[in-house]
């Protein structure tokens, strides 16, 4: 019982949160100096984080594992403090003022959850495709590039470009779309992006195929965080008036 009380007091302490943030800052600062010096970090952005960490020697990535550990403790600290705060202030006259900080904390936790999902299951590949190129996706769907277009002005400069694509399942087209620089196509959690085009020696487009399972969770977290901040600020201003 005594040990359980000590653990609970540890996670309920504001001092714990401050020390964890300080340690996390030191770890990240260390990593910012180490990353440019090691070649293995050049491939960090092309595969899921945890897969990349597992594939590289512990001597290079120990600080990333340490950061994950500190973030886990910080998540537990945030969750326990939020629950304790709500339980203590249940029945308070201005419940909205009580809940607003907790909504901010929940938004923060959703953003951490989004990063966790992305670290496990994200995917990104880039490459050049020509007309008739088929790109397979992991769900059994294929993306067929049917045409590549560009708007060229009188000076010979490319002003805009696009590619017409079709989604195929077992060779049968079930969806068509057009992708542009600021208008990707989405299907089954994948995003199909067009980066640029070139026409010599033949028309090709540089595309990116990516998947980020944490994107929706990050959006939810951002909305909750912003909502909590806005509500808290409005209530504080009203209270002071």
> Do 49 and 111 share a domain, yes or no?
yes
> Do 107 and 184 share a domain, yes or no?
no
> Do 40 and 83 share a domain, yes or no?
yes
Which range of residues forms the domain containing residue 164? 123-211
The pLDDT of residue 1 is 53
H/E segment holding residue 185: strand 185-187
> Do 148 and 223 share a domain, yes or no?
no
> Do 117 and 131 share a domain, yes or no?
no
Q: Which residues face 156 on adjacent strands?
A: none
pTM: 0.71
What's the total number of domains in the chain?
Answer: 2
> Do 62 and 93 share a domain, yes or no?
yes
> Do 133 and 206 share a domain, yes or no?
yes
Sign of CA dihedral 45, 47, 53, 56: negative
Strands of 25-169 (E only): list them. 123-130, 134-136, 141-152, 158-169
pLDDT per residue as tens digits for the range 115-143:
888 888 788 888 899 888 998 888 888 99
pLDDT per residue as tens digits for the range 94-112:
677 778 888 888 998 899 8
Residue 29 to residue 167: CA distance in whole angstroms:
44
The pLDDT of residue 92 is 56
Mean pLDDT of the chain: 84
> Do 8 and 110 share a domain, yes or no?
yes
> Do 164 and 228 share a domain, yes or no?
no
For residues 111 and 152, the model is more confident at 111
> Do 115 and 23 share a domain, yes or no?
yes
pLDDT per residue as tens digits for the range 20-35:
999 999 999 998 888 8
Report the CATH number that the domain containing residue 137 is assigned in CATH.
2.60.98.40
pLDDT per residue as tens digits for the range 42-77:
777 777 888 888 888 888 889 999 999 999 998 888
> Do 36 and 67 share a domain, yes or no?
yes
> Do 114 and 130 share a domain, yes or no?
no
């Amino acid at each position: 019982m005594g040990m359980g009380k000590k653990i609970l007091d540890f996670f309920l302490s504001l001092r714990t949160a401050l020390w964890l943030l300080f340690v996390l800052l030191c770890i990240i600062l260390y990593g910012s100096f180490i990353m440019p010096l090691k070649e293995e970090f050049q491939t960090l952005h092309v595969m899921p984080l945890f897969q990349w960490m597992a594939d590289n020697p512990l001597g290079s990535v120990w600080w990333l594992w340490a950061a994950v550990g500190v973030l886990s403790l910080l998540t537990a600290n945030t969750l326990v403090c939020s629950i304790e705060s709500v339980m203590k202030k249940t029945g308070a006259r201005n419940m909205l003022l009580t809940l607003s900080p907790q909504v901010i904390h929940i938004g923060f936790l959703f953003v951490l959850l989004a990063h966790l999902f992305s670290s496990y299951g994200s995917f990104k590949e880039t490459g050049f495709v020509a007309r008739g190129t088929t790109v397979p996706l992991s769900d059994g769907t294929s993306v067929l590039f049917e045409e590549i277009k560009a708007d060229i002005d009188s000076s010979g400069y490319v002003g805009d470009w696009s590619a017409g694509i079709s989604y195929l399942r077992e060779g049968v087209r079930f969806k068509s779309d057009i992708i542009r620089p600021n208008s990707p196509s989405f299907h089954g959690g994948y995003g199909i992006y067009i980066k640029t085009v070139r026409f010599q020696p033949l028309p090709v487009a540089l595309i990116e195929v990516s998947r980020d399972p944490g994107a929706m969770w990050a959006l939810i977290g951002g909305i909750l965080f912003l909502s909590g901040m806005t509500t808290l600020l409005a209530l504080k201003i009203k209270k002071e008036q």
